Amino acid sequence: IQALDTLGGTKWRVNKRVLDVVDRIWNSGGRLAHLVDRDDVPLPEKPDTEDETLLKKWKWKLRNAKKENRERHSLRCDTELKLSVARKMKDEEGFYYPHNVDFRGRAYPMHPYLNHLGSDMCRGILEFAEGRPLGNVGLRWLKIHLANLYAGGVDKLSYEGRVSFTENHLDEIFDSADKPLEGNRWWLRAEDPFQCLAACINLSEALRSSSSETYVSYLPIHQDGSCNGLQHYAALGRDKLGAAAVNLMAGEKPADVYSGIAARVLDIMREDAQKDPTSFPDALQARALLDQVDRKLVKQTVMTSVYGVTYIGARDQIMRRLKERGTQLDDSQTFGASCYAAKVTLTALEEMFEAARSIMSWLGECAKIIASENQPVRWTTPLGLPVVQPYRKLGRHLIKTSLQVLTLQRETEKVMVKRQRTAFPPNFVHSLDGSHMMMTAIACKRAGMNFAGVHDSFWTHACDVDQLNTILREKFIELYDAPILENLLESFEESFPTLTFPPLPERGDFDLREVLHSTYFFN
């Protein structure tokens, strides 16, 4: 409750300058800065032929065009809803987002449209309503934050490298702030363009003020976990190899797990590309993808792997990335390439994160044993929140009336064994990252700081980032100093004394206190 009060007590306001730019782009048809095109894709005309091959291709293109238009319509509605809220609130001094928790203990703002969990557009439009002077360190963090938002590999440099990047692009930053649409539009090259624009405006004002130290900034500065799910697994398993890969250990620059996976995927594809396509058909897919493999292609799959992403989910993620790039492959070739790339990416993940996989397997096996007794998996989070997985089979009930027969669905007493098993590892880790965020939020409030959280991304004012970094590391160590897996196994054995559970997976000898000295643990 204290954590939800802290999150709900953070005061927000609309960044009018960014909202004005969003409105101008939207009114001119969208298409820029990841905004959806306001026009539909034209439907392909049916070819005047009896050729089944050509007709089949036309049907494929027609189906995809209709699907694209449905998606665009949905995105346009979503954008309009968010902008309507922003326009309504833009003249308010400030407003608040009450929060609640899901069944796992993860916090979410209760307003469904414009909030800081939303898209880049939403985050760019929102800022803290209460400003704070940048002070001695705030200007540096503002420069680092801008480089992070620009991304494109810049966010993988050392902090000094990111500061240098920002300082080397001050002309573009000033131009973006002064003439966002009439100038060179440098901010549009950023991975998070609207947030980058907000940072350009903020930094320009600070540098042009009489004293940057006394300049009052309203911009939230983010500290993000490095593939946070794997960070939690590395801490659970005291896994040195995993800890090094996800920045639980100190390094001169951030370790990039996504680049590591991408490199392994590329190695596998190079080997496959050398094979004979007549005996190994995937050789053709490998050859087509050799110049497409990078961290961005595999990032979403790596992020969601610890949360139980399936082969089909991985395939769809990679297919979206390939379509975004506008490759020379047609739709059927893109589908085949995505199937192959998903298979290779999941193979690379299994090779590189064996310790995390062993914990995931143990959690899944425990869940299977419990669910086989027709019981849902239950546990208590480190903050004392009881969690029950809500997955039960649905029963059909027919209601006959004089006009029609209605079919209603409702949960039965029978649990879904497979769903209980596959959902437990990600739900358990989500309950842990929710606990870490709440522990950090409470400590920040006691320290007199403004705090906002988006699961594994913690936000505060630029002047308070150093203090936030200290707190979130201390709370991570405090969380994992407790014997979490031992307590979980003990609770299972107490609840189900007649069942036999597998022994805990072996743990390594990683010292959690190394997190205190890891510059890029959250960065």
**Strands (DSSP E) along 314-437, which ranges?**
378-380, 386-388, 392-400, 405-415
Tell me whether residue 456 is one of the annotated catalytic residues: yes
Of 155, 272, 433, 456, the catalytic one is: 456
Inter-helix orientation angle 135-150/159-168, to 10°: 80
The catalytic residue among 156, 299, 445, 475 is 299
Residue-by-residue DSSP string for 344-380: HHHHHHHHH-HHHHHHHHHHHHHHHHHHTTT---EEE
Cα–Cα distance measured from residue 331 to residue 336, given in angstroms and rounded to the nearest whole number = 9
CA distances from 414 to 20, 41, 130, 391 (A): 53, 46, 51, 9
Strand, helix or coil for residue 185: coil
Catalytic residue among 37, 78, 224, 316: 224
Task: Annotate 27-57 with b (16+ C-beta within 10 A) or e (fewer).
Answer: eeebebbebbebeeeeeeeeeeeeeeeeeeb
Return all residues near 450 (Cβ < 8 A) that are at least 6 apart. Answer: 10, 128, 130, 132, 444, 460, 461, 464
224 catalytic, yes or no?
Answer: yes
Q: At what angle do helices 193-208 and 170-178 cross, to 10 degrees?
A: 100
Concerning whether 299 is annotated as a catalytic residue, the answer is yes
The per-type count for the chain, helices as H runs and strands as E runs, is 19, 14
Provide the annotated active-site residues: 224, 299, 456
